Amino acid sequence: MSIAIFSLFNLMHNSLFVKEQVAREDKLKNFSLCITKTLKLDEIISAYIDFLRESISASQIYVCLHSPEENCYRSTTSALSLSKRFVLRDDNSLVLWMKEYSKALLYTEFTRQTQYKSMWEAEKQALQGLGVSLVLPVECDSQLVGLTFLTDKHSHKPYSYDEISFLESVASIVSIAIKNANLYETIHKEAQRDSLTGLYNRRYFNKQLEEDFECARAHSITVILFNLDDFRLYNELYGSGEGDCLLSHFAGILQAVVGNKGTVARYGGKEFAVSLPFSCASDAEELAGFVKQSFSDYLSKESGPTQKFLTFSAGICSYPTSAASPDQLLSYANLAVYSVKKNGKNGILTYTRTASTQPEYYNERSKAAIVQEYTATIYALTAAIDAKDHYTFSHSQCVSSYASQLALAAGLSDEHVEIIRQAGLLHDIGKIGIPDSILTKEGKLTSDEHGIMRRHVERSIEMIRHLPSLDYVIPVVLSHHERYDGKGYPRGIAGENIPIGARCLSIVDSFDAMVSRRSYKETIPINEALDEIRSNLGKQFDPELGQLFVSLVENYQIKAVSY
């Protein structure tokens, strides 16, 4: 009888043990599934601590994670109140023991080790003050990435062998999650940063500018673009290594001057961008002035016996005074940079919609110089299309004239009007690459032929991009077939996201196409063409610019012709 009872007891004990083992394995499996759903380190640590509290019922749990930059293990804010934060250096005796033995350790056992005796009294008191009962290493790829400190359980019973084994399994799962989170964070940071300067990159800046704009929409936001003058020549004179060094120093100057007032990014090879939410144009002008002085001071100190000269051209645009969207802030700041470049470089200019506020940059001499500098190149290109197709040449002349008059009437600056005029002359230059059989075809184009014709926009860009002196017309040329309702091509952008110059071109391009004779159609009377413009306001065309153009033609302020 006693043997039967003993056998039954063993059977029940083994069954209970198996059930506990299965339950723990299920817990570990569920925990592993839960913790692998996030790549955020704070969430991983919080889930880890919550799971340990639920499973072990420790009075308190603290987690320290390794900080390679600081060479220490620092307590996490999610695990510890701010008043009890503590740090263990990499050479701390407890840390060295964990690295050597890679296993959980009861604190009472550690106090009997020689490593404990070599600790500073302050370090001993810090651990004693926490009431540590068990120390658990968190290792990944043989690296100690963290330490877990557990106080006594609520029951005050000592930690059993099974519990310690269970905790080590939990720590193994967490170590993999921490590794993945750190890897994700590293990749994420690298994706946001420029490798040379450490500044944010263009992609991150564009995203941040959108967020800054939404945050400051009810107030103001200003963008500054800094473009180093003649940087290619600087590289040729002093070497690309010296050029990289200078870019890094300039980035440091920007960060120091901007501080926490905004976001700084390397926007291009020699271009830097700054977003200043809740700042106006005058704030930005003052900041740019500090940057200019700091950059000059740096060059004078670092150049040595042979003075190295380098300047920058800066453009400023502010919302809501001069722009209505993040894209316009960048576009108009870029126009201001363009203006400084074409008027001697080494300057700071704030974009405004009217030329009257910028007398120093819009004198007759500077306007004439701009026209003379690019006239030969522009007309060489338009002559090439004239030789290919005389209609396209005449059409481009009319579009250029109409668009510049419309832009002027809309209150755009002289510099902006000039860019739109140039874009009008060049907007169809890509048709040089269109076969004659399609370009001069009588009758409607097939779908394939229409696709080939549409690609003239990309061909135009490919030609213009190789002419650095004309690259500022690219946004206008690229977007002149976009529609206000977003149904155009090639990008399908809508509303004020379409550059204002392209919105001007779209209206006059369509108008001139209607009132001119082509191989596949006759002319349409001017009044009917204007009615067509009216019927598409807000759909194909910008409603305000479209109505303005109609009024200008009807009042003979723009002399439209049929041909």
The domain limits of the chain are 23-191, 202-352, 364-554
Helix residue ranges per DSSP H, 427-562? 436-439, 447-454, 456-464, 474-478, 500-515, 526-535, 543-554
Least confident of 124-133, 466-475, 497-506: 466-475
Does CATH place domain 202-352 in 3.40.50.300?
A: no
Query: What is the spatial distance between Cα 350 and Cα 286, in angstroms, rounded to a whole number?
Result: 11
Query: What is the spatial distance between Cα 3 and Cα 13, in angstroms, rounded to a whole number?
Result: 15
Q: What is the pLDDT of residue 145?
A: 93
Length of the chain equals 563
Beta strands in 167-250 (DSSP E): 221-228
- Spatial contact of 482 and 394, defined as CB atoms under 8 Å apart: no
390 vs 404, residue with greater confidence:
404
- Spatial contact of 413 and 332, defined as CB atoms under 8 Å apart: no
What's the whole-number mean pLDDT along residues 81-92? Answer: 73
Give the percent of the chain with pLDDT over 70.
84
518 vs 207, residue with greater confidence:
207
CB neighbours (10 Å) of residue 4? 8
| 6-57 pLDDT tens trace | 554 555 544 444 555 666 777 788 888 888 888 888 899 999 999 998 888 8
Counting Cβ atoms within 10 Å, is residue 156 exposed (0-12), middle (13-18) or buried (19+)? exposed
What's the whole-number mean pLDDT along residues 486-497? Answer: 90
Judged against a pLDDT cut of 60, whether residue 80 lies above it is answered with no
Query: What is the spatial distance between Cα 415 and Cα 370, in angstroms, rounded to a whole number?
Result: 9
Q: Which two tokens stand for residue 459?
A: 């061909």
Q: What is the pLDDT of residue 287?
A: 97
What's the whole-number mean pLDDT along residues 156-167? Answer: 90
Q: Which two tokens stand for residue 419?
A: 């860019």
247 vs 438, residue with greater confidence:
247
| 188-245 pLDDT tens trace | 777 789 989 999 999 999 999 999 999 999 999 999 999 998 887 677 667 788 899 9
User: What phi and psi values does residue 11 have, to the nearest 5 degrees?
Assistant: -65, -45
Q: What is the mean pLDDT of the chain?
A: 84
Nearest to 429 by CA among 464, 403, 471: 464
Q: What is the pLDDT of residue 509?
A: 94
Residue 64 bridge partners (DSSP): 75, 147
- CATH architecture of the domain 364-554 equals Orthogonal Bundle (1.10)
What spatial distance separates the first Cα and last Cα of the chain, rounded to whole Å? 119
Least confident of 64-78, 237-251, 414-428: 64-78
Judging by DSSP bridges, how do beta strands 312-319 and 347-350 pair with one another? parallel
Q: What is the pLDDT of residue 376?
A: 62
Q: What is the pLDDT of residue 308?
A: 64
At the topology level, CATH places domain 23-191 in Beta-Lactamase (3.30.450)
Q: Which two tokens stand for residue 43?
A: 């969430």
Nearest to 274 by CA among 295, 293, 255: 255
Nearest to 380 by CA among 453, 452, 463, 456: 463
How sure is the predictor about 302, in pLDDT bands with cuts at 50, 70 and 90?
Answer: low
Q: What is the pLDDT of residue 398?
A: 94
